[in-house]
């Protein structure tokens, strides 16, 4: 079942690339005591994700923070080295934390996984956005495959 407003974010470990190499981040590390904008997408370096989805959150990071968001997290079913390379390529810096859900643990536990085997991708994450307050989902949007609208940074800003 897909996670919904009022649900608690499942407890899993994600991975983030740092100057010292890969670092595990529990969902507690990411969400406890904070209001977090989190968005997920089907893959690092893929066309819409690279041209629109992640750049939109980087460009609007300060505006989201001005509306009460403490941190912004991008989740994808890619390994931490790919996510680290994508962060460098996109210049996301400390505006957006790129978190690798390499084994799709979060995607599956939240019911946000999608089978993209037909495109050679295997299990991936649907394109989604959520506002999570202290680990509790406040709102969630999902863009059906091949679309990009409801989960953009601009849409989240308009809603906050």
Binds ligand BEZ by CB under 6 A, chosen from 13, 22, 46, 138: 46
Interface with ligand BEZ in residues 57-76 (CB under 6 A): none
84 interacts with ligand BEZ by CB under 6 A: no
Binds ligand BEZ by CB under 6 A, chosen from 3, 14, 49, 73: 49
**How far apart, in Å, are the Cα atoms of 81 and each of 89, 97, 154?**
12, 14, 28
Ramachandran angles phi, psi of 37, nearest 5°: -90, 120
56 interacts with ligand BEZ by CB under 6 A: no
Closest CA to 109 of 23, 17, 16, 26: 26
By C-beta, is 140 or 143 nearer to ligand BEZ?
Answer: 143
- Determine whether 125 is an active site residue: no
Q: Please state the closest distance from residue 116 (CB atom) to ligand BEZ, in A.
A: 7
Catalytic-labelled residue, pool 49, 74, 77, 153: 49
User: What's the 3-state SS for 93-151?
Assistant: CCCCEEEECCCCHHHHHCCCEEECHHHCCCEEECEEEEEEECCEEEEEEEECCCCCCCC
- Which residues are part of the catalytic machinery? 49
Binding site for ligand BEZ (CB under 6 A): 42-43, 46-49, 119
């Amino acid at each position: 079942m897909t996670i919904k407003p009022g649900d608690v974010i499942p407890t899993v470990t994600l991975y983030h690339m740092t100057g010292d190499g890969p670092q595990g981040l529990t969902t507690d590390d990411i969400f406890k005591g904070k209001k977090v904008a989190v968005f997920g997408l089907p893959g690092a370096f893929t066309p819409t994700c690279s041209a629109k989805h992640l750049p939109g959150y980087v460009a609007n990071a300060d505006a989201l923070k001005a509306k009460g968001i403490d941190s912004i997290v991008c989740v994808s079913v890619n390994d931490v080295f790919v996510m680290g390379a994508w962060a460098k390529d996109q210049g996301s810096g400390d505006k957006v934390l790129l978190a690798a859900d390499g084994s799709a643990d979060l995607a599956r536990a939240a019911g946000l996984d999608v089978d993209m085997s037909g495109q050679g991708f295997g299990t991936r994450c649907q394109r989604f956005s959520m506002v999570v307050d202290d680990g509790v989902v406040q709102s969630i949007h999902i863009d059906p495959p091949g679309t990009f609208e409801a989960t953009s940074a601009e849409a989240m800003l308009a809603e906050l």
